[in-house]
Chains A and B, each alone.
Chain A
Amino acid sequence: MEVLLQQIINGLVLGSMYALIALGYTMVYGIINLINFAHGEVLMVGALTSWTIIGLMQEAMPGTPGWLILLISLLIAFVVCGALNFAIEKVAYRPLRNSPKLAPLITAIGMSLLLQTLAMMIWKPNYKPYPTLLPTEPFQVGGAVITVTQLFILGATAVSLSVLMWLVHYTRLGRAMRATAENPRVAALMGVRPDTVISATFIIGAILAALAGVMYASNYGTVQHTMGFLPGLKAFTAAVFGGIGNLGGAVLGGILLGLIESIGAGYIGPLTGGVLGSQYSDIFAFIVLIFVLTLRPSGLLGERVADRA
């Protein structure tokens, strides 16, 4: 029982990171129907930027409390990633708005590769330890263990989700975003500037990705230039799983995916008598995805028929 509880906690932590990244994918997809393949790399840039800032601050101002350093590095990562994603959209996606759909997909893949390469040149290809800035004494919850870092992840996810939901549902910008997702041309007639809205969407997505990147780094304790790839892929799976273009779906998909992965990894060994091990955990995501999409081609909460080619 303790094992199950522990796996549920781990799954929720993992799932909330996936959910944050998935929101970035799903918002971009909802508005311009593009799989932003470079999204995972934005996460990586966020994590590496915060790693650099933490290193600089620990050297320049020893004795600063860990949470403050983390907060400042997080804010700087937000700015860097926001600017980066804004630039990516402007350079690689905007000129191709009216081109065949595969063209922006290829520039997105190119961007992802470019960012990885540049990160490798700037930060060197080795794995770097990410410092533990939060207290390490864990809490006991009914026999399972939860760390402060995990609490920080769950809390920050809850806060940022609430802020995002408020932003989308109760502000002018949110209304403009929803209108543009519905129909950019009509939205433009109503006085919305689609280009501004799209830029804003990319910046918001980048901030969520940077947050997830810092969480990822704190949770696993290492950073490297390829670290964005797998979470990006999983989060995209989560977005499709929940019904791409649907914000609630992305959160649901992310959390479910985290839970499935974590519980699956914990139980697959005993269940199959040791034939399959936890090294198969990476494929649960995809197996579940194939099943769900076979039954519901537009994802769990997707309303639109999947008719886009």
Chain B
Amino acid sequence: MKPNKLVTFFIVAAALLVLPLLLQQGGNAWVRIVDTALLYVLLALGLNIVVGYAGLLDLGYVAFFALGAYLFALLGSPHLAEAFPVIAAAFPEGLHLPIWAAIPAAAALAGFFGVVLGAPTLKLRGDYLAIVTLGFGEIIRVFLNNLDRPINLTNGPKGINQIDSMKFFGFDLGKPHEFLGIEVNSVSMYYYLFLVLVIVSVIICHRLENSRIGRAWMAIREDEIAAKAMGINTRNMKLLAFGMGATFGGVSGSMFAAFQGFVSPESFSLMESIMIVAMVVLGGIGHLPGVILGALLLAALPEVLRHVAGPLQAMTDGRLDSAILRQLLIALAMIVVMLMRPRGLWPSPEHAKPLVKPVKS
């Protein structure tokens, strides 16, 4: 690295490390916003593998997030013991698996479903694929909502609560800790965990992008038939993209479950999937800095706006409350950004070629 690049690197790193400590002075709400934003970055990075690299439009991505979150919740809460006498006999307090078993299990389940979804849809492309993945997301959500009888697996619309927090070798992220005399509370601890995960994911994605696999994905994205003719096994590559993207979703899901301590079907609606797609496309599809920017903007801005919406609500006689204002601004952002920069806010400079041929006109 050049010296001035190194300096920038250290400044950014220091700023990222200090950020939650500064924010937590103003209350946990602000740190929580940043935490959520980082979770969305993780999700957007995962979806970017499927949509950005391999060009497979997936509108049901949140299903994998949900699967990861629910599996983690089941393994780390008393719910299974309450619902099943067999389990209660062996584990009266619930399973409470250590995260070293729960997170890989969540990742594996999500990855498995990613491949299961990918397999029958290999022949489909574009909009057909979009609608099938969208349907898959809805199917998962309906099951989560209704699997509380005849056997109570998901506790239905009420969701599962009392989920364990993240514990590393007895170090509990759910409790405040003190380092060098500085009090670091639980939400800030999660910030550091999520930050590490985001950095690891960025490194993985970056390496993938320049690997044979990544190049094969991009070849499929640009022209599937040509890619096949050049000897790329398009079937395996597409399944790999689905599986890897879904694994990211599963890991993010287990983080979400542990962070919130509560999961319910409401968090996994179609709107969430659409928001994640919007983050990827709005930022700059297939371009890591763009994807991160898109995720941060769409996840954090509305939350920040929520805090300034009070006066507006008073001005407009209660019609324009914070939730409405938030939705209005997201909608306008999606339209205006796309009209002004159809390739995203921060598009990739070298792959400036369109993802697909422009629509004939």
Measured CB to CB, the residues of A under 8 A from B are 29, 32-35, 91-92, 95-107, 109-111, 113-114, 116-118, 120-121, 183-185, 194, 233, 236-237, 240, 244, 274-275, 277, 279-280, 282-283, 285-287, 289-290, 293-294, 297-299, 306-309
- B146 to A279, Cβ gap below 8 A? yes
Known: A99-B358, A117-B328. 8 other contacts (CB 8 A): A96-B342, A99-B354, A107-B339, A279-B145, A280-B146, A293-B128, A294-B123, A308-B356
In-complex Cβ contact of A113 among B334, B355, B356 (8 A):
B334
Whether B11 is near chain A, meaning CB under 8 Å from some CB there, is no
B residues within 8 A CB of A289?
131-132, 135
What total count of A-B pairs have CB within 8 Å? 169
- B132 to A290, Cβ gap below 8 A? yes
- A100 to B335, Cβ gap below 8 A? no
B residues within 8 A CB of A244?
127-128
* 4 closest A-B pairs by CB: A286-B135, A110-B334, A99-B342, A114-B331
- B128 to A240, Cβ gap below 8 A? yes
In-complex Cβ contact of A111 among B121, B224, B331 (8 A):
B331
- B334 to A107, Cβ gap below 8 A? yes
Q: Helix, strand, loop or mixed for chain A's interface?
A: helix
- B343 to A283, Cβ gap below 8 A? no
How many Å from the CB of A114 to the closest CB on chain B? Answer: 4
Q: From B158-166, B304-312, B319-327, give the one contacting chain A.
A: B319-327
Measured CB to CB, the residues of B under 8 A from A are 55, 57, 120-121, 123-128, 130-132, 134-136, 138-139, 142-143, 145-146, 150, 221, 224, 270, 274, 277-278, 281-282, 285, 319-320, 324, 327-328, 330-335, 338-339, 342-343, 354-356, 358-361
Question: What are 21 A-to-B residue pairs whose CB atoms are below 8 Å?
Answer: A33-B359, A96-B342, A98-B358, A100-B356, A102-B285, A109-B277, A110-B332, A113-B331, A116-B327, A236-B131, A240-B127, A286-B135, A290-B120, A290-B135, A297-B123, A306-B123, A306-B124, A306-B128, A308-B125, A309-B55, A309-B224
- A92 to B335, Cβ gap below 8 A? yes
B residues within 8 A CB of A110?
278, 330-335, 338
CA distance A307 to B135 in the complex (A): 20
CA distance A177 to B163 in the complex (A): 57
Nearest B residue to A240 via CB reads B131
- B138 to A98, Cβ gap below 8 A? no
B residues within 8 A CB of A33?
127, 359
Nearest B residue to A291 via CB reads B120
A residues within 8 A CB of B120?
290, 294
- A32 to B338, Cβ gap below 8 A? no
B residues within 8 A CB of A308?
125-127, 356
